[in-house]
Chain A
Amino acid sequence: MKQAPTIKAALYMKMVTLCALVTASVLMVNQTAFAIELSKQQNQPVPAGEKPVDPYVQSNDNAGATPMTDDTVYHQFGGMDGISRIVDDLIDLSSKDERIEGIFRATDLVRLRRTLKEQICYILGGPCDYTGRDMKESHKTHGITMMEYNALIELLQVAMEKEGVAFRAQNKLLAKLAPMYRDIVLR
């Protein structure tokens, strides 16, 4: 009779310890997941010549369009070499166009060149991953208007023409990019 409370107390202590252990391990797992998430965001190396950006989670979902199911159009664009020339031309043209040069002055063009090439390559079904931010996040500070958005489309058409991309293939890319106005055009 005298021992009963001791057993009860011991049992109670064991239960408390178990609970504490479970809680601690759950917390630790959570913390580990959080730490991994954090390191994914914070330990992204800043490529040479680029300015750091606020942490974000990298994902092809950030590209803002579903990629084409095969690489036909990617090859019609001349693969990564063609895409690269088109993006370089587009950025050069945009930086000189009075309608939108202000937006490009306020942009890290080294980073834009890299991420835009990745984005177009990924969307056209090429062997690339998009590592940039999503369209809403990457454009939120620019206050872009519909006129500015259309100006960029016009300059992209000029760059694609210069590269000799067939008009129908040009339109296939534009069809993928056009709906992004919902995240990009803010006023």
Chain B
Amino acid sequence: MIKIPHRQTVLWIASILVYAFLYIPLIIIVVFSFNDSKLNAEWVGFTLHWYKALLNNHEMLLAARNSLIIAISASFLATTLGTMAGLAIHRYKLKVLPILAFTPVAMPEILLGVSLLLFFLQVLNLTLGMLSIIIAHTTFCIGFVAIIVRARLQGMDESIFEAARDLGATPWQTFHQITLPLIRPAIIAGALMSFTLSIDDFVITFFTKGVGEPILPIQIYTMIKVAVTPEVNAISTLLMLLTLTLIIIATRFDTSMLRGESK
């Protein structure tokens, strides 16, 4: 007689398999980045060769720098504009702005990439380059910031603003002393989200990039398509290591972060 396993057990097994599905590919990348063989096939021996090669790869370092500049600029712009949009959408009954801000978030990226490509070339006569990428990234990040800021505002008690007004605060005072501190976490969150979206974005960058300045995702794409060497593993591993470090820092930064995902 086979005993039917407890349902919780089934759930556990299924979940562990899903976790394995999520993590095994990443582990493999890391392992092969130390492999002394050009082919990502079998383990030959330990080497740091691919990391050294990466450090000597000027294009790659330049690409990393360009991507950072783009991500910082785009997230700054998107956070400013997105926060305004979030505030405006929450406070006033606007019809057009919500549609404009939220649609780019919901559309397949390729559509935004294509339309911006046509726009930059035909209307602005802008030579594609860093500026066009920054604008493109800002366009789709505004929506994300606005969503986060609005969600934060929705969760707040309106009476606090009324109280401020009753006490004779000007709109600017209300904003500066009450609204801004209250939504600051959402603004920071939006900025970070924009930053990560921008640095990771491949599709829109692919369409709006110029030639000449290497950009990180494009550089990785070319490496994958043209010459697959474990250098790709090395850069991937470094990127992952970076995030892992950040997680540890983030935990230190605020020990309560694992306590609860409050809204």
The answer to whether A and B come from one shared complex is: no
